[in-house]
Structure 1
Amino acid sequence: METYSSSITLIYLRSRVLIEANYFKLWTSLGQKISSIILGFEALIRFIPDVYIDSMGYPFTYPCFYYLASIPIMSYVQYPIVSSNLIEQLNEENNNNEFIIKKSLLFKLKLISYQIYSYIYGWCGRCSSIIYCNSSWTKKHIESLWGLSCIHLVYPPCDIKQSLEMPFIDIDEKQTIKTIVSVGEFRPEKNHQLQIQAFHQLLQKKPEYHEQLKLILIGSIRHYEDREYIEQLKLLIDNLNISNQVLFKLDMNFQELKNQLNQAVIGLSTMRNEHFGIGLYNMSSI
């Protein structure tokens, strides 16, 4: 794609730092959404555009541009910040603080707060003039929450040509090391903890494979929170005494990723409500 530097202007937004998760130890999501409104105001003050395009997922900024400046908004939604089945999931213990589960009043308040949150999210989304979603799953939830008809499906570009050109590896019983790979960003919602626990259970049930199997966790690191998350996973691995069987591969280039996937016997993913799933695509295309 040819670009012209003279036609592109970058404007630094000082309030960008406010939407980082480390600023909010409690009510992180709510704090980030309120901070995004401040960020939107700053952006509008610094420059008034003809069209506002959001691909980062800041719907709470839409009313600033729509009501204050009558600017048309194009939204590219990768993942809804509230899914239409979120309230059902709140009934499951693994998605809630144990204290809230035990205190029915607080639990009801949490349900009500998410219903209000969902309504506000839909109201903000309806400020959009046109909406694109990266998967049918996301599109379904956005249609339900935003109640608009101008929603289109645009899959991210995926080139499988290089994957198809990878040489076939015949994995037989005599191969010394067999690898199980997981591909995805190191974020809590990817549920790497479950992968590690499942792998540990496999080794417990099949001790004869203890030296043959390796779990390789492949992913990128964005910031300090990701590194902290990885350290928590390493602590779990140490506690389960499988440090020699679990490897981390961080920020790999695409060629290295293809090689790892090509040699693996199993691809592993444990994220619930996966939207597009580039990791799943990578694993299935090899």
Structure 2
Amino acid sequence: MGVVSVLLSVCFAVVIASIFIPATFHASGRLVGKYLRGASRTRRELLIARTAKEQKEYEERVNTEREVRRKDSDEWEEVEGALVGSAANGEQAADQDWSGIIGFFHPFCNAGGGGERVLWEAIRATQLRRPEAICVVYTGDHDVDKSAILKRVEERFNIHLHAPSIHFLYLTKRDYVLSSTWPRFTLLGQSIGSIFLALDAFQLLVPDIFIDTMGYAFATWLSTILFPDVPTGAYVHYPTISTDMLDSLSSGGQGIHAGAGVGLRGLLKRAYWHIFASLYSRVGSTIDVVMTNSSWTQAHIKSLWGPFRKRQNTTTNQDTEDISVVFPPVAVADLERAIHIDEQSEATRRRDIVYIAQFRPEKNHEMILRAFASFARPEIKASKDGGGVIIGRRPVPRLILIGNMRASDEMRVYTLRVLARELGVDEYVKFVPDAKWEAMVEYMAQSSVGVNGMWSEHFGIGVVEYQAAGLICVVHDSGGPKMDIVVDVEGEPTGYHASSVEEYAAAFDKALSLPAEEALKMRLRARRSARRFSTQVFGEKWVRRMEELIRLRRQRVGVRGL
């Protein structure tokens, strides 16, 4: 608790100073920033030299620079066309040579989840649009080097990055943002930890543009204090705190904090959350460019950050929505190429249900297991009563649970295995931890239903993958899956919503009982809907917001190309 107490005390002093003596506080921050910039100058020079060396070696391997650029140019041609005239006064050619350093703050970059897909596609889009820029990822994954990280990106997401212009700087204080470090006041503690983790990053290197892609608003706030000339951006997957979370404290609420606001202790927790929400709103208002991953996240961020941002007038471009929705990139095109949806493929699909999600508490695997057991037990009994013969040509479905698994998740998976055995469905539940992309595609191609069980899922990349693969979706009746993804197309449904064990079980039965013709029509509608979330659409929107940050950088330093 010693470290925790010290950090809490330091944070309290910082907050008090920023509120009551802002001029002195900001002046002190600039002095610290100047020191950090000087201390990291040597590393900056070495990084630039290393990039040039690796680029030269790369070009030698492919013979000429023309061959190096040709593939990327062809790949990005449609996006480039969409960006013509996006620069101020229609200027475009003069902007091609920006060679600054863009820092991506993503301490868990090797986790392999949906948030990481956003990071890698963002870097890929940046590399294609700004080939002279250097992308630096601040990460705490000390156990893997650059080549191993990039190899996993290719295997997990089928994303190929240009290695010479991407580098990784390793943080030493990642434990400060773990919930286990803060058994009390977890939200505030992790936010405080992110401040110290960002300071750790700036000691390594001060970038020209700083972008948080994990949701650490307090880290970007520190950047604005230390380096006023460094534009900041944030891609928000979900708000650290939201009105839904506050509502969940009430009796009958949903989520992992359901009912925690009851009694005296609950009142104190509610007051603490409201105070934290106020702090979160203030630090969020300092970020220059804000992107959210869904309409649900946008609504919450607008309600929290919006009023303060209007006061500070932080909008970077009057023609651009201040807090915009940039849907996460999904490998829709890859899935369309890999999986056919027609009468022939319909005949080859099994009656399996697949759930692609990291093995975390909020993903609610337990509820999905119970719902599957409720639905499948009658079919299992019928099959066994028939001596193993499939009754009515309806094979007993399987529940396939696919997800990346951290060391801390191993006990959770073990508990789920035990629960499956207790529910009598362990023979029909398959766990596939740390599956590669090819394996996931194969499972989606062979299955019929894709399920999502998280309450207030901020978006749901896995759900879009289901749709692109032609799976009939059964998702929680909340958040992004409800508002943005599993919506009607041409007045017809693309899946089902549920919020309880009984509703999920009923939805499984509906989805797996559809006549073949109706099932095929729903799969095709879902695929058409998924095209709204392609990597190309993401790339176009990401680059537009990145251009704003580059323009801001040039305005603040007063020279071009820095």
TM-score bucket (shorter structure): 0.7 to 0.9
Q: 1:181 aligns with which of 344, 347, 354?
A: 354
Within a 5 Å distance, the mapping from 1:152-191 to structure 2 comes to: 152-165=324-337, 166-168=339-341, 169-171=345-347, 178-191=351-364
Distance 1:96 1:257 in 2: 28
SS in 1 for 2:346: coil
Are the aligned partners of 1:137 and 1:275 in contact in 2 as well (CA < 8 Å)? yes
Distance 1:162 1:44 in 2: 37
Q: Calculate the TM-score normalised by the size of structure 2.
A: 0.46
Moved more, 150-159 or 42-51: 42-51
Distance 1:209 1:279 in 2: 31
Are the aligned partners of 2:256 and 2:362 in contact in 1 as well (CA < 8 Å)? no
Amino acid paired to 2:346: D
Distance 2:465 2:351 in 1: 19
Distance 1:65 1:160 in 2: 35
Q: Deviation of residue 107 (structure 1)?
A: 1.1
Q: Calculate the TM-score normalised by the size of structure 1.
A: 0.86
Are the aligned partners of 1:22 and 1:225 in contact in 2 as well (CA < 8 Å)? no
Distance 1:11 1:63 in 2: 20
Q: Deviation of residue 4 (structure 1)?
A: 7.0
Q: 2:239 aligns with which of 76, 80, 83?
A: 80
1:48 aligns with 2:206: yes
Distance 2:468 2:300 in 1: 27
Q: What's the counterpart of residue 217 of structure 1?
A: 401
Equivalent pairs, count: 280
Distance 1:273 1:100 in 2: 17
Within a 5 Å distance, the mapping from 1:130-279 to structure 2 comes to: 130-147=289-306, 148=309, 150-165=322-337, 166-168=339-341, 169-171=345-347, 178-206=351-379, 207-208=381-382, 212-221=396-405, 223-279=406-462
Distance 2:424 2:184 in 1: 32
Are the aligned partners of 1:54 and 1:75 in contact in 2 as well (CA < 8 Å)? yes
SS in 2 for 1:11: strand
SS in 2 for 1:40: helix
> Which one has a larger percent helix, Structure 1 or Structure 2?
2
Distance 2:265 2:177 in 1: 26
Are the aligned partners of 1:183 and 1:219 in contact in 2 as well (CA < 8 Å)? yes
Q: 2:181 aligns with which of 23, 38, 53?
A: 23
Q: Identity of paired residues, percent?
A: 30
Q: Deviation of residue 281 (structure 1)?
A: 0.5
Unaligned runs of 5+ residues in structure 1 are none
Pick closer, same or farther for the CA change 1:86–1:242 going to 2, 3 Å: same
Are the aligned partners of 1:90 and 1:96 in contact in 2 as well (CA < 8 Å)? no
1:248-283 per-residue CA deviation (whole Å, 9 max, x = no partner) reads 112222222122112212211111112221110111
1:225-255 per-residue CA deviation (whole Å, 9 max, x = no partner) reads 2222212212222222321111111222222
Q: What's the counterpart of residue 89 of structure 1?
A: 248
Are the aligned partners of 2:354 and 2:447 in contact in 1 as well (CA < 8 Å)? yes
Structure whose alpha-carbon radius of gyration is higher: 2
Amino acid paired to 1:214: R
RMSD over equivalenced CA pairs, Å: 2.6
Q: Deviation of residue 131 (structure 1)?
A: 0.7
Pick closer, same or farther for the CA change 1:209–1:22 going to 2, 3 Å: farther
1:119-178 per-residue CA deviation (whole Å, 9 max, x = no partner) reads 111111111011111222211111111114621222223342332332342348xx8x62
SS in 2 for 1:131: strand
Q: What's the counterpart of residue 111 of structure 1?
A: 270
Are the aligned partners of 2:255 and 2:455 in contact in 1 as well (CA < 8 Å)? no
Distance 1:24 1:16 in 2: 13
